[in-house]
Structure 1
């Protein structure tokens, strides 16, 4: 299964902030949409990502204030990303190895969506269920042939 199939099921909503926005506004947006990360977009291009982890590590633990700190000061700018034709298994591997929970989906220069670890796990479980059901039908003699 490819990333584009996840995006087709969940939608392609992209929640983002600008680098100059305050961290407070970013956190408020995350709360509004009940999400754990936002893309940072500048001039239509992916500039970074800001997550709850960035907020914890770079604002709270460093004694900064969210109302006066700009997103660009704490965002992750070396963003790990995937394309819509990459496999779900690759996404699972990247998320596990890099200990990240969100992957922007970028085709060429255009951001086309974001997938979360929850999206990936849900897809893997659904695929395994289909395989298990097929094997049960085959073993039980119910497989069309």
Structure 2
């Protein structure tokens, strides 16, 4: 089973993030520009939150307005669920489905080293299943296992 560390090797190494005192419009522009659904929120001490598309939807639904110049720290999720690089993709899927989250920050030695999405996890699971199916087809057809 693939680990998060292996999954991160195949991802872009840049971790787009935002400061808690940045504005909603700053976050939305960065997310649109980079085509990403969430941003880790970092201050001088490290990871202090995460802000996602869903957070902005909740903000608008609750207030009936889009406060573009409000700061991120008013809307970010402050109790961030994280995992470690040695976690398996299956463990990440369980964390994400249990907590109903789509983005999972990866932390090592209290430092943010990556961010994976549910899409990253699903792609990896599908890839592993495809490999297993191919190996079984090879075995059944007499071409040998793992060829």
Give the TM bin, normalised by the shorter chain: over 0.9
> Which residue of structure 2 aligns with residue 72 of structure 1?
73
Which consecutive aligned stretches of 4+ in structure 1 deviate over 4 angstroms post-superposition?
Answer: none
Structure 1 residue 71: deviation in Å? 0.2
Distance in 1 (CA, whole Å) between partners of 2:145 and 2:30 is 50
> Which residue of structure 2 aligns with residue 106 of structure 1?
107
Structure 1 residue 140: deviation in Å? 1.0
CA contact (8 A) 1:101 1:116 kept: yes
CA contact (8 A) 1:12 1:114 kept: no
Distance 1:139 1:19, change over 3 A: same
Give the secondary-structure state (helix, strand or coil) at the position aligned to 1:103: strand
CA contact (8 A) 1:36 1:51 kept: yes
Structure 1 residue 60: deviation in Å? 4.8
What's the TM-score, normalizing by structure 1? 0.94
Q: Tell me, which stretches of 5 or more residues in structure 1 are unaligned? A: none
Give the secondary-structure state (helix, strand or coil) at the position aligned to 1:47: strand
Distance in 2 (CA, whole Å) between partners of 1:8 and 1:80 is 21
CA contact (8 A) 2:59 2:66 kept: no
Distance 1:144 1:18, change over 3 A: closer
Q: How many residue pairs end up in the alignment? A: 145
What's the TM-score, normalizing by structure 2? 0.93
